[in-house]
A and B are shown apart, each in its own frame.
Chain A
Amino acid sequence: MNNITNRQVICDVLLEAAKKDKDILVVCSDSRGSASLAPFAEQYPEQFIELGIAEQNLVTVSAGLASCGKKVFAASPASFLSTRSYEQAKVDVAYSETNVTLIGISGGVSYGALGMTHHSCQDIAAMAALPGMRVYLPSDRFQTARLIKALLMDEKPAYVRVSRSATEDVNEENIEFTLNKANVISEGTDAVIIACGEMVPYAIKAQKKLEEKGISAGVIDMYCIKPIDKEAIIKAAQHTKLVVTAEEHSPFGGLGSIIAQIISANCPRKVINLALPDGHIIAGNNHEIFQYYGLDDEGIVKAIEKELE
């Protein structure tokens, strides 16, 4: 099991890039530790800005810095960054098209027992609704590294959500990566599971279990929620009977909703959306919570078996 978190990987990529580019800035809201960016703050104090526990200010100051030519990475817990600073993200990042990458750390139910205040289960819906805002939920450390490197190359706004703990490796280190192209892990004829972020390893395990039962399922790692790879979705749906989406998010306005829209308009198929409930979430660690709500491999297998019966 890999024990390097996606947060650490982001820090490593930014450390490497900052060596050559003085315009790269990391901005935090008392979150350098939780974002694993303390090594950046130590090594490049001139390129690190601390704003204290003030997320609205964090986002707008980042936009002001970016308007003067800086390449800004603003990192804060996903729940506060996405909704407490929502208007700032809408006006000063998305509307003003500033070169700001918002990094939502400990997204979804990463904070487990800390409850609703610290869960971020609305961020896909919220951020994807902003015109011009790109939304990414990378699945493993290799994809996260490639994504951040790709975002360093452009000047457009983006929101990236990563989990708190290390995630299982889904890809090879030298993963083929094209920005905004879905990662098609396997193809199947009975069902296709489209997942993002931490759900991807569960989708892969579910696919293997289904295979043992004689059910052919494909898996797509849809790390790019917006812009979304429509072509990959339509192609996969055309070759199967059932589309299942899995996400660490509210059932409203997330990956499942976006995919259902695309499929209904282009190649109607049955779509099942597996998501967290529209309600209070139980206490527990990630795996316990996913298991409880049928989002783990067993839950995905059951949902597909039931539908294909």
Chain B
Amino acid sequence: MDSLTKKAYELRRDILEMIYRSKAGHVGGDLSVIDILTVLYYKVMNVSPENRRDPDRDRFIMSKGHCVDALYSVLGNRGYFDKEEAIKNFSAYNSRFIGHPNTDVPGIEMNSGSLGHGISLGVGMALAAKLDGRAYRTYVVLGDGEMAEGSNYEAMMAASHYKLDNLCATLDLNGLQISGRTKDVMSSDDISEKFQAFGWNVVEVPDGNDCTELLEGYKKAEEFKGKPSIVIAHTVKGKGVSFMENKKSWHHGVMTEEQYIQAVKEIEEVLL
């Protein structure tokens, strides 16, 4: 197993512990997006605890903010804070590790959680880079259910109008949202065409839980000039835990003790 995939599975173990202890969180989406976050934070983005105030660091926005547990997991493991503190205090009384990204937590650039804001924030950050002649890139992670929010399309227009090729969004396309299949709740089968129609460079990643494929996707996005890029990562909700995979009930399901033991066992088997 390659080191990135191994890392993503180690992070899955932390996510499960965080969610099991707190009885809160969005486990299905965390497990679909974690490979994306692992590739971005360990390979693609120029970010680290040491450069977190450097004006030239890359910027990251978690637009699907409900999957903050996955973000805490990757930031904790990258050394932005003591990961045990996040695991112990996720969603706890008076904790800074609340259920959506907030800037009290080191490494989080902007508050988020209300859907449909991420691309607009990214447009602002990418425009600032162009205005200042800085080379940093801005990365935004979106959920597929979130694409029903209209403000996304305002932001998509602006990103292509200003030719923001320093902006790279990723769509965590797992096909499920809280009420069911995304295509049934609000059709999204043509999301790739929608981004193209709005003037974006579209990079398809057929297996968005495969770190090698993701890395190749980000490389193509970075090399593309003149347009913003969207990496459409086809993922599996609940990826890595057999009884959670592709089940809408695990959008924010709470594990029993038996389910937790089973889930951790499946993750550890992959790591062996």
Contact mask A62-77 → B, CB, 8 Å, 1/0?
Answer: 1111111110000000
Residue B128 contacts which of A54, A56, A68, A91 (CB distance < 8 angstroms)? A68
B111 to chain A, nearest CB (A): 5
Segment 71-102 of A: residues with Cβ below 8 Å from B: 87-88, 91-92, 95-96
Q: Which of A45-53, A170-178, A246-254 contacts B (4 or more CB under 8 A)?
A: A45-53
The answer to whether B154 and A54 touch across the interface, beta carbons within 8 angstroms, is yes
Q: A54-B157, A57-B158, A60-B151 are in contact. Are A65 and B110 (CB under 8 A)?
A: no
The answer to whether A66 and B158 touch across the interface, beta carbons within 8 angstroms, is no
Residue B124 is within 8 A (CB to CB) of chain A in the complex: yes
> B124 — nearest CB in chain A belongs to which residue?
A64
Q: A61-B123, A92-B121 are in contact. Are A68 and B154 (CB under 8 A)?
A: no
Segment 217-257 of B: residues with Cβ below 8 Å from A: none
Residue B15 is within 8 A (CB to CB) of chain A in the complex: no
Residue B103 contacts which of A56, A69, A96 (CB distance < 8 angstroms)? A96
**Chain B residues within an 8 Å CB radius of A64:** 110, 120-125, 127-128
Q: A51-B158, A96-B110 are in contact. Are A61 and B151 (CB under 8 A)?
A: no
Q: Bound state CA distance, A52 and B128, in angstroms? A: 18
The answer to whether A60 and B155 touch across the interface, beta carbons within 8 angstroms, is yes
Chain A interface mostly helix, strand, loop or mixed?
helix
**Chain B residues within an 8 Å CB radius of A92:** 110-111, 117, 120-121
- Bin the interface of chain B by size: 20 to 34
**Chain B residues within an 8 Å CB radius of A67:** 109-110, 121, 124-125, 128
- Bin the interface of chain A by size: 20 to 34
**Chain A residues within an 8 Å CB radius of B129:** 68
A sample of 28 cross-chain residue pairs with beta-carbon separation below 8 angstroms, ordered by A number, consists of: A52-B154, A52-B158, A56-B151, A56-B154, A57-B151, A57-B158, A60-B121, A61-B123, A61-B155, A63-B110, A64-B110, A64-B123, A64-B125, A64-B127, A65-B128, A67-B124, A67-B125, A68-B125, A68-B129, A70-B131, A87-B114, A88-B117, A88-B151, A92-B110, A92-B111, A92-B117, A92-B120, A92-B121
A-B contact sample (14 more), CB < 8 A, given A60-B120, A60-B121, A61-B120: A51-B154, A52-B158, A56-B120, A57-B154, A60-B124, A60-B151, A61-B123, A64-B124, A64-B127, A67-B124, A68-B132, A87-B114, A92-B110, A92-B117
Chain A residues near B (Cβ < 8 Å): 25, 46, 49, 51-52, 54, 56-57, 60-70, 87-88, 91-92, 95-96
